Structure 1
């Protein structure tokens, strides 16, 4: 398959999805169930991506330093730390566990 054909098909598909979103009637978007779903969907997607990046390695589930960093970030969030402190705690714990294991 030609690479440019794949790029063109992908662009057309993205445009079609965008157009379909614009053609949805406003009344359908005002329903309470749709509003709840729209509010919860980004959180669920972010949680799924975080879990996949933390515990996935190829086709295997792994438990390594990334899990410790995620736990440290979760603890910092529970303590209501600022965002940069949360990130710094995750980085420091992950690096520390890797240094001890390595």
Structure 2
């Protein structure tokens, strides 16, 4: 799997030029833009902020796994499962 686009990404509120779409929250960064247009405004904002935080979350989880030396650690196993899911392996 190729590596995801590194951050920083940021969530921003944007008025769309397309009247039928209304307002939306977009994530801008090295990925271009991803806009969330479905659901209530607060939910679109939460989704955009979560997407924008993804590179930092992925890095933090990888650091935790790299520092885990206990093969029986449930938290480390959970973090490894999350990383596998992010890589499309689960």
Structure 2 length as normaliser, TM-score? 0.30
Q: Whose strand proportion is higher, 1 or 2?
A: 2
Q: Whose helix proportion is higher, 1 or 2?
A: 1
Q: Which structure has the greater CA radius of gyration? A: 1
Bigger RCO (CA 8 Å, 6+ sep): 2
Structure 1 length as normaliser, TM-score? 0.27
